[in-house]
């Protein structure tokens, strides 16, 4: 523990230093999915998304173009968007630089030498009603005017400017585009909400507003993610807290859990930032698996009463989890390496925290009413029937699940990662339809300068930035062509129009790298990326051999990203599995398959179920298999290392906590987290179920090993006797059969389990009420018991009708309920008082003085509730000695098996009468020497015992077990006779009588006094007689 604390302190200090060091330059987390890809692809995609035209736009749709412009103006004003372009101002700015600006059509005609045609067209424009856009002094042929008019169609075919906004008309509907590239996420979300509301409400002229572009999707995703994270985190924390409380029935686990999780995350974050200056957000998201594993460590440590008691399985769990994630450290994708480092560092911290925590006292898993659940049961003692059903059911489930593997689909489709909401999807679809830009291909032109890129674009025939601002080279060519036009047609044109040709064209050229007009600058920015390169949409059929032109489809690139991640993760998963198998082989040697197969099968079943449910396996769901292996091995290790009910309960609650934490992800709106949540939920479920199944060989091996138990008890031997009794019992229903030969009445395994279920969840009162109809059912079939009761009453001289007999039998059933409660869960202990007489006072004095006592009980009343008297005494400050009780185990084996399964052996140790030997006497003498009680029933002859004593009882000669009284004699301890009779619905009274005789008294004398005491008690409380055989047969 000390070493663990030191190491943990060192790790926390290291993490603090690392975080402080990084904090100097800021602690940044990379949220971009593109960072998961190779440098080349990341660069291209980042540059593409940084381009203005791909950021965000709004598409307005309506029947009236003017109304759209008004609406657009209002939106720009209300949301502070960029105002409509001022075309006149742009023309004024480029007028002095329009020397080389010629439309493509005019250039083509000039290149062909069709100067006449160009001149005529210019004249027709001049003679028309429209004014020239540029001064005719420098541009008599109105070529720059023609260029300005062609700008609109060059930018996007079919689009024109309307009020400064790109607009078009399709199928009688007008469309208008607004640029929203400067929006923050919050502003984009507000704009989207406004647009949705506008569409939902009835608008005049059918006006619709759509949002398109990455900024809206990012904003929407961020908003939803924020909401879901808050909701799911709260739900997850509440579930973990609730489950922890249900397990421990107190909040004392909470501080340790909080510290463990906090320390784990702190150390993990420190390790991550120490090695990665800007880790990816996915590493932290994936690191939430830490919560599940930290919860497991804390639960198991507390359940065992201290981590030291489960140090070995904890260490095994840590080792296997580390081996699971270790191969990811060698992934070629940085995010996977980060995930591995984060998880592994956090796991080590959580483990050390569990070890370093001070041992908890009394904080162990509880029963349903909060009482400590110190129950012991070895796995081999589970009823054979239940084990078979579990095995068959599990096998069928596994078989069905694995059949789904044939339907498994592996997907690299980006839509598996993100799917837009209906509104945004409709907006993107609408924009595609209107803009008629199919294909989705992007061309990147890698020129050394912007001018070079423009020239490459012009040569390739692409319509991008060069369609708006030609390269300087082209502009010079155009200027030369215009000069030729003037030389060829100048005179005729002047004669026709009266416009003189300029002597010298003083205009300059428009340089795309140095535009001053805001509108043109915006246009240039939408095409240009860093370093002089430009990008643009390109037609589907475009092909180029120029190495400086890179054409790619973003969708395909993203798909390749996921493909690469998937293959990398699957390779690493195979390595991880092999490493894990080797580790298990090292740890468990020949039994490693018992640990490996549940996890392997769970993974296969999960994959199969994904096939059935149509959940494709992607790179993200594949990462879930790492988590599944880690947690699944936890369940197997703990279930197999310590198969007691405490541990199984702890494993169950660990599983439920993890299920709550991961399973909630299945309810998010994001496809990727939804599929991960479903995968993890299925995987954890199968891992847990399969971890509970044991092979027969393992079961036999465990039966040879004593269960983990700080307080020795005879329960294992007791249960073995029950087993053999069940196997060897002859089904005798004869009344005259010996008591131990009689079969239990209506004590079927499932009936017992049902009764236990009623008791456990509804209480003793409900159980007793249930006894009434059960007894009514049993009564007609309990002929032997009825006859025995009648004979008893006959001996007493009391007439016993059916009703008295029925009440007698019912009283016995209630006594069994009281006995069960007193010795197991203690949900409703009866009020036990002691008759205030010499016997009780003597008994109490001896107990208080720390002396051991030999107690001879009987089957009159319910001696088992006597410990309730002890609880009352303890509550009053008295001493409660430990009790060694002897019982014949083989008789009522079915009841005893159920009884022993839940028996609380903290105050009583049951010994089988069948096991009494020399060593038993020595052991009991030692117990008496310690001040403990030894209790035996003196009114039943052991099965198969021929040693009996005879003594009259109720006027009849009866046989009594010699061994009990002989045993009492050799104990050399005070001997008391005790009965505990029912005095009310939930009340008993204990009667004590001391044997009057010295230590050298004979067995006969002890018996005689005992029989007298018993007779006296029997006559007083005949309904408490619990012998249902012919007691008086000689």
Partner 1 sequence: MFKRSNVLLAAALAVAVCCASNSGGRGATRPAGQDDAEMPERAEGTFVQRKTLADVEVTITSKGTFKFEKGRSFEWRTVSPMPSTFIATPTNYSFIVNGKTTTRSLKSNVDKIAKIFEIKEVKDFVKSVKSVPEKGFPDKLTVEFKNGDRLDIEMKR
* Packing angle of the helix pair 384-403, 592-613 (nearest 10 deg): 50
**Which of the ranges 116-124, 338-346, 707-715, 749-757 carries the binding residues for partner 1, by CB under 8 A?**
116-124
* Packing angle of the helix pair 671-691, 619-641 (nearest 10 deg): 20
Find how far residue 555's CA is from the centre of its chain: 32
Q: How far is the CB of 134 from partner 1 (least distance, A)?
A: 9
* Packing angle of the helix pair 289-303, 334-356 (nearest 10 deg): 20
Residues numbered 666 to 725 that lie near partner 1 (CB under 8 A) are none
Q: How far is the CB of 107 from partner 1 (least distance, A)?
A: 12
205 vs 332 by CB, closer to partner 1:
205
# chain residues binding partner 1, by CB under 8 A: 42
* Alpha carbon distance 800, 415 (integer Å): 82
Q: Out of 154, 160, 250, 709, which residue is the one contacting partner 1 (CB under 8 A)?
A: 160
Strand segments, DSSP code E, in 731-866 are 831-834, 853-857
- HSE-up of residue 1008 (Cα within 13 Å, Cβ side): 7
129 vs 944 by CB, closer to partner 1:
129
* Alpha carbon distance 917, 915 (integer Å): 6
Task: List the x/- string, 840-859, binding to partner 1 by CB under 8 A.
Answer: --------------------
162 vs 343 by CB, closer to partner 1:
162
List the beta bridge partners of residue 953: 956
Q: How far is the CB of 473 from partner 1 (least distance, A)?
A: 24
88 vs 197 by CB, closer to partner 1:
88
146 vs 643 by CB, closer to partner 1:
146
**Which of the ranges 65-73, 255-263, 376-384, 937-945 carries the binding residues for partner 1, by CB under 8 A?**
65-73
88 vs 358 by CB, closer to partner 1:
88
* Alpha carbon distance 234, 232 (integer Å): 5
Strands 208-212 and 57-62, sheet pairing: antiparallel
Q: How far is the CB of 435 from partner 1 (least distance, A)?
A: 17
86 vs 723 by CB, closer to partner 1:
86
Task: Enter the tokens of residue 757.
Answer: 């279920």
69 vs 659 by CB, closer to partner 1:
69
Contact between 120 and partner 1 by CB under 8 A: the answer reads: yes
101 vs 328 by CB, closer to partner 1:
101
**Which of the ranges 148-156, 209-217, 654-662, 903-911 carries the binding residues for partner 1, by CB under 8 A?**
148-156
Contact between 150 and partner 1 by CB under 8 A: the answer reads: yes
Q: Out of 55, 98, 152, 343, which residue is the one contacting partner 1 (CB under 8 A)?
A: 152
Find how far residue 143's CA is from the centre of its chain: 69
Contact between 123 and partner 1 by CB under 8 A: the answer reads: yes
Residues numbered 960 to 989 that lie near partner 1 (CB under 8 A) are none
**Which of the ranges 158-166, 211-219, 602-610, 830-838 carries the binding residues for partner 1, by CB under 8 A?**
158-166
Q: How far is the CB of 128 from partner 1 (least distance, A)?
A: 5
Q: Assess contact for 350 and 293: CB atoms under 8 A.
A: yes
**Which of the ranges 362-370, 481-489, 494-502, 879-887 carries the binding residues for partner 1, by CB under 8 A?**
494-502
CA-based nearest residue to 378, from 51, 715, 693: 715
CA distances from 240 to 5, 244, 265, 373, 602 (A): 26, 6, 17, 21, 23
499 vs 1014 by CB, closer to partner 1:
499
137 vs 521 by CB, closer to partner 1:
137
Which residue, chain included where needed, has tokens 């420190």? Answer: 270
Q: Out of 5, 43, 82, 125, which residue is the one contacting partner 1 (CB under 8 A)?
A: 125
Q: How far is the CB of 550 from partner 1 (least distance, A)?
A: 34
Task: Convert 583-593 to b/e letters by CB count within 10 Å (16 or more is b).
Answer: bbeebbeebbe
Alpha helices in 357-465 (DSSP H): 384-403, 422-435, 450-460
Q: How far apart are the first and last CA of the chain?
A: 66
Residues numbered 79 to 98 that lie near partner 1 (CB under 8 A) are 87-88
Residues numbered 166 to 195 that lie near partner 1 (CB under 8 A) are 169
Residue 897, classified by CB atoms within 10 Å of its CB into exposed (0-12), middle (13-18) or buried (19+), is buried
* Alpha carbon distance 296, 300 (integer Å): 6
Contact between 65 and partner 1 by CB under 8 A: the answer reads: yes
* Alpha carbon distance 720, 378 (integer Å): 11
Q: Assess contact for 4 and 352: CB atoms under 8 A.
A: yes
Q: Out of 8, 11, 37, 69, which residue is the one contacting partner 1 (CB under 8 A)?
A: 69
Q: Out of 10, 40, 80, 105, which residue is the one contacting partner 1 (CB under 8 A)?
A: 105
Q: How far is the CB of 65 from partner 1 (least distance, A)?
A: 7
**Which of the ranges 11-19, 284-292, 492-500, 558-566 carries the binding residues for partner 1, by CB under 8 A?**
492-500
Residues 6+ positions from 675 with CB-CB distance below 8 Å: 416, 615, 616, 618, 620, 621
**Which of the ranges 152-160, 596-604, 801-809, 931-939 carries the binding residues for partner 1, by CB under 8 A?**
152-160
**Which of the ranges 62-70, 412-420, 665-673, 682-690 carries the binding residues for partner 1, by CB under 8 A?**
62-70
Task: List the x/- string, 230-269, binding to partner 1 by CB under 8 A.
Answer: ----------------------------------------
List the beta bridge partners of residue 960: 949
- Edge-first strand order for the sheet with 441-445 is 534-538, 441-445, 549-552
66 vs 837 by CB, closer to partner 1:
66
Q: How many CB atoms lie within 10 A of CB 916?
A: 18
**Which of the ranges 411-419, 497-505, 731-739, 973-981 carries the binding residues for partner 1, by CB under 8 A?**
497-505
104 vs 791 by CB, closer to partner 1:
104
How many helices (H) and strands (E) the chain has is answered by 36, 17
Q: Assess contact for 365 and 373: CB atoms under 8 A.
A: yes
* Alpha carbon distance 872, 876 (integer Å): 6
Q: How far is the CB of 510 from partner 1 (least distance, A)?
A: 20
Q: Out of 496, 666, 726, 954, which residue is the one contacting partner 1 (CB under 8 A)?
A: 496
88 vs 312 by CB, closer to partner 1:
88
**Which of the ranges 490-498, 523-531, 802-810, 987-995 carries the binding residues for partner 1, by CB under 8 A?**
490-498
* Alpha carbon distance 239, 292 (integer Å): 12
Task: Convert 822-850 to b/e letters by CB count within 10 Å (16 or more is b).
Answer: bbbbbbbbbebebeeeebbebbbebbeee
Find how far residue 916's CA is from the centre of its chain: 52
Contact between 106 and partner 1 by CB under 8 A: the answer reads: yes
136 vs 462 by CB, closer to partner 1:
136
CA-based nearest residue to 619, from 681, 552, 579, 675: 675
Task: List the x/- string, 126-145, binding to partner 1 by CB under 8 A.
Answer: xxxxxxxx-xxx-------x
Q: How far is the CB of 463 from partner 1 (least distance, A)?
A: 17
Residue 126, classified by CB atoms within 10 Å of its CB into exposed (0-12), middle (13-18) or buried (19+), is buried
Q: How many CB atoms lie within 10 A of CB 54?
A: 20
408 vs 501 by CB, closer to partner 1:
501
CA-based nearest residue to 676, from 1015, 1018, 282: 282
**Which of the ranges 61-69, 240-248, 556-564, 964-972 carries the binding residues for partner 1, by CB under 8 A?**
61-69
Residues that bind partner 1 (CB under 8 A): 65-66, 69, 87-88, 103, 105-106, 117, 120-133, 135-137, 145-146, 149-150, 152-153, 160-163, 169, 496-500
């Amino acid at each position: 523990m000390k070493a663990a604390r030191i190491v943990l302190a060192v790790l926390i200090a290291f993490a603090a230093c690392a975080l402080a060091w990084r904090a100097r330059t800021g602690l940044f987390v990379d949220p971009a999915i593109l960072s998961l890809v190779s440098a080349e692809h990341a660069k291209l995609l980042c540059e593409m998304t940084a381009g203005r035209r791909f950021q965000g736009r709004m598409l307005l749709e309506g029947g009236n173009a003017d109304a759209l412009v008004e609406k657009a103006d209002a939106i720009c004003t209300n949301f502070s968007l960029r105002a409509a372009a001022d075309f006149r101002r742009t023309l004024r700015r480029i007028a002095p630089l329009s020397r080389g600006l010629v439309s493509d059509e005019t250039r083509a005609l000039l290149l062909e030498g069709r100067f006449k045609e160009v001149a005529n067209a210019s004249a027709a424009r001049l003679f028309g009603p429209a004014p020239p856009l540029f001064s005719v002094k420098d541009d008599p042929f109105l070529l720059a005017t023609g260029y300005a008019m062609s700008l609109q169609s060059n930018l996007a075919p079919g689009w024109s400017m309307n009020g400064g906004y790109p607009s078009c008309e399709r199928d009688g509907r007008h469309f208008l585009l607004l640029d929203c590239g400067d929006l923050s996420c919050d502003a984009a979300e507000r704009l989207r909400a406004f647009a949705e509301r506008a569409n939902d409400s009835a608008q005049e002229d059918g006006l619709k507003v759509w949002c398109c572009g990455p900024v809206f999707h990012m904003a929407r995703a961020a908003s939803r993610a924020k909401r879901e994270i808050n909701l799911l985190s709260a739900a997850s924390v509440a579930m973990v807290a609730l489950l922890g409380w249900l397990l421990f029935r107190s909040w004392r686990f909470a501080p340790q859990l909080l510290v463990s999780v906090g320390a784990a995350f702190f150390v993990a974050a420190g390790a991550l930032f120490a090695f990665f200056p800007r880790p990816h957000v996915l590493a932290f998201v994936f690191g939430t698996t830490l919560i599940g594993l930290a919860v497991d460590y804390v639960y198991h440590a507390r359940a065992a009463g201290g981590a030291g008691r489960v140090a070995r399985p904890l260490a095994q769990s840590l080792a296997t989890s580390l081996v699971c994630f270790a191969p990811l450290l060698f992934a070629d994708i940085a995010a996977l390496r980060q995930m591995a480092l984060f998880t592994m560092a956090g796991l080590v911290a959580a483990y050390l925290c569990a070890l370093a925590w001070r041992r908890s006292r009394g904080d162990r898993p509880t029963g349903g009413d909060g009482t400590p659940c110190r129950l012991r049961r070895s796995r081999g003692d589970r009823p054979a029937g239940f084990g078979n059903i579990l095995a068959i059911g599990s096998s069928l489930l596994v078989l069905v699940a694995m059949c789904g593997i044939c339907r498994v689909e592996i997907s690299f489709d980006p839509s598996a990662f993100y799917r837009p909401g209906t509104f945004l999807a409709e907006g993107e679809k609408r924009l595609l339809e209107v803009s008629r830009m199919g294909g989705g291909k992007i061309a990147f032109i890698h020129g050394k300068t912007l001018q070079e890129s423009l020239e490459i674009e012009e040569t390739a025939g692409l319509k991008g930035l060069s369609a708006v601002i030609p390269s300087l080279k082209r502009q010079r060519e155009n200027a030369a062509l215009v000069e030729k036009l003037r030389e060829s047609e100048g005179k005729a044109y002047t004669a026709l129009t009266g416009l003189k040709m300029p002597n010298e064209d003083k205009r300059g050229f428009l340089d795309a790298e140095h535009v001053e007009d805001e509108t043109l600058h915006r246009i240039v920015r939408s095409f240009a990326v860093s370093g002089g390169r430009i990008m643009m949409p390109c037609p589907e059929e475009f092909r180029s051999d120029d190495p400086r032109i890179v054409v790619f489809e973003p969708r395909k690139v993203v798909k390749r990203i996921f493909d690469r991640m998937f293959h990398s993760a699957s390779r690493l998963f195979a390595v991880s599995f092999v490493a894990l198998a080797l580790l298990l082989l090292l740890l468990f040697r020949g039994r490693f398959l018992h640990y490996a197969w549940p996890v392997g099968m769970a993974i296969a079943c999960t994959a199969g179920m994904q096939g059935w449910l149509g959940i494709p396996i992607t790179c993200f769901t594949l990462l879930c298999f790492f988590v599944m292996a880690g947690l699944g091995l936890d369940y197997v290790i703990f279930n197999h290392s310590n198969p007691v009910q405490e541990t199984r309960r702890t494993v169950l609650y660990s599983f439920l906590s993890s299920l709550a934490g991961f399973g909630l992800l299945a309810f998010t709106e994001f496809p990727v987290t939804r599929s991960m949540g479903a995968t993890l939920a299925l995987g954890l479920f199968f891992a847990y179920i399969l971890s509970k199944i044991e092979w027969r060989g393992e079961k036999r091996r465990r039966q040879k090993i004593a269960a983990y138990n700080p307080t020795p008890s005879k329960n294992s031997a007791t249960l073995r006797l029950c087993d053999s009794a069940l196997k060897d019992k002859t089904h005798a229903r004869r009344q005259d059969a010996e008591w131990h030969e009689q079969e239990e009445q209506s004590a079927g395994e499932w009936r017992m389990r049902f009764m236990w279920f009623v008791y456990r969840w509804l209480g003793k009162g409900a159980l007793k009420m249930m006894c009434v109809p059960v007894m009514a059912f049993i009564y007609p079939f309990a002929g032997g018991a009825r006859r025995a009761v009648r004979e008893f009453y006959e001996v007493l001289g009391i007439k016993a009708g059916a009703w008295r007999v029925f009440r007698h039998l019912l009283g016995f059933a209630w006594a069994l309920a009281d006995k069960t409660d007193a010795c197991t869960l203690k949900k409703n202990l009866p009020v036990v008082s002691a008759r205030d007489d010499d016997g009780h006072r003597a008994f109490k004095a001896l107990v208080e003085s720390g002396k051991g006592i030999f107690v001879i009980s009987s089957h009159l009343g319910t001696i088992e509730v006597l410990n309730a008297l002890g609880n009352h005494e303890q509550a009053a400050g008295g001493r409660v000695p430990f009790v060694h009780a002897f019982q014949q185990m083989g008789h009522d084996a079915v009841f005893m098996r159920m009884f022993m399964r839940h028996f609380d052996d903290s105050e009583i140790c049951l010994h089988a009468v069948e096991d009494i030997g020399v060593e038993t006497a020595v052991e009991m003498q030692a117990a008496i020497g310690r001040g403990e009680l030894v209790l035996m029933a003196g009114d039943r002859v052991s099965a198969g015992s021929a040693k009996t004593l005879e003594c009259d009882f109720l006027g009849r000669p009866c046989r009594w077990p010699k061994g009990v009284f002989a045993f009492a004699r050799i104990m050399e301890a005070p001997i008391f006779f005790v009965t505990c009779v029912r005095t009310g619905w939930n009340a008993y009274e204990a009667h004590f009588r001391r044997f009057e005789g010295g230590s050298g008294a004979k067995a006969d004398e002890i018996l005689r006094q005992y029989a007298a005491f018993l007779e006296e008690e029997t006559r007083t409380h005949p309904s408490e007689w619990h012998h249902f055989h012919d007691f008086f047969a000689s």
